[in-house]
Amino acid sequence: MASFESTLAGVLGGYIEGLGVGMVLYGIAMAQAYVYLLNSRRDPKWLRFTACTVVLVETAQVACLLRELYVYSVIAIANPLTITQIDWSVTVAVFLGFVTQNIVDCYYIYRVWSFSRNLYLTIPLAIIPIARDGFYLRCIAGLIQFPVWTALETTQSIRTSLLVTISTSLALNVLLAASMVYYLRRNTTAFERTRNVLSWMILYSVHTGGILALVLACALATYLLLPSSLIFTAFILINSELNSNAFFGLLNAKNRLRQKMNDPIMIASNELSDQSASYRLRTIEIGVTKETSHAADDISPGPSPQGNKLKGSFFQ
């Protein structure tokens, strides 16, 4: 970075704004986590444990964000040179974001596998985050080795690792969203309720993947076009919190759709009375047909009850 003034503007501008937005998103994620944990009795233990792990990791990360806010807005007043240095809480927060992103990515890859049962698709999707994590950890090591903000611009190894990390994360989000949409759209069903669920799932996948990809694209663009600014860090912080929001949003949506699939349907039919020539209206309560042969929560989106079953379950 060219001067102390530009460093000051970059940190107190983009970075601290990112801290504020990140903490707001954390509050939203915790509200979603609370709702999920209240309604997660039917979910497997491993999924509830994963949700609790994300809550703990996100809480620890926000504690680091609060520390960063204190350092760069309070301590820096007494010691302005502090603002040119990367506080240890920044490195810890980046590592915790690394943990959250990997948990969320693994769950989404599992979702793709449960729908497609396609190893030729799932294995490459699993390789991408593994390859990305090497560069991600190299970035963290660089922050420890060179704890100054200027290293993000001047140290080539950190710069390359950061560019690869952001780019692969962007590509992975696009591929995950596209895979989900493809395997949902290729399955049709004669059941209106199941069609509605599939349509909602497609919409959710597009919106979630689109938002995450847009934020990462902004981070990549600002890092390339404004290398002397820390505005890109705001988008990285926002992306980290959006990952947890997307995770808990999917879990809550899954539970809500499962509840709707199991609600009874009320219909009306006209039945001719044997004792009179008039019609009388009779209400019949019909339980929802179970559209799976494996579990009560699976969906069978075939064109008929005997149609092809959607591999995997959105509700697991």
What domains are there in the chain, each with its CATH number? 4-262 (1.20.1070)
CA distance 287 to 196: 18
CA quadruple 103, 108, 110, 115: dihedral, nearest 10:
170
Sign of the Cα torsion 257, 179, 101, 210 reads: negative
* C-alpha 64 chain-centroid distance: 21
pLDDT band at 198 (very low <50, low <70, confident <90, very high): low
**Phi, psi for residue 125 in degrees, rounded to 5:** -65, -35
Q: What integer pLDDT is reported at residue 63 of this predicted model? A: 94
How does pLDDT run across 212-230, given as a tens digit for each residue? 899 999 999 999 988 778 8
Rounded Cα distance, 39 and 21, in Å: 28
pLDDT band at 235 (very low <50, low <70, confident <90, very high): very high
pLDDT of residue 186: 72
Which of 214, 196, 204, 197 has the alpha carbon at shortest distance from 180?
204
For CA atoms 72, 75, 76, 79, give the dihedral sign: negative
E-only strand ranges, 161-278: 265-272
Name the pLDDT band for 45 (thresholds 50, 70, 90): very high
Closest CA to 83 of 18, 23, 150, 17: 150
Residue-wise pLDDT tens digits, 73-132: 888 878 888 888 899 999 999 999 999 999 999 999 998 888 888 888 899 999 999 999
Residue 281 has φ and ψ, to the nearest 5°, of -90, 130
Q: What's the pTM value of the predicted model, to 2 decimals?
A: 0.77
List pLDDT tens digits, range 2-43.
Answer: 454 555 555 567 788 888 899 999 999 999 999 999 988 888
Place of tokens 């009779």: 282
Residue 11 is predicted with a pLDDT of: 55
What per-residue confidence (pLDDT) applies to 316? Answer: 58
Q: Specify the higher pLDDT residue, 176 or 272.
A: 176
Contacts for 272-277: CB closer than 8 Å, 24+ residues apart: none
Q: At what angle do helices 88-116 and 156-185 cross, to 10 degrees?
A: 30
pLDDT category, 188, cuts 50, 70, 90? low
How many CA atoms, within 13 angstroms, populate the side-chain half-sphere of residue 110? 13
Selection from 132, 133, 59, 53 nearest residue 92 by Cα: 59
Per-residue pLDDT for 278 more than 60?
A: no
Whether the CB-CB separation of 314 and 300 falls below 8 Å is answered with: no
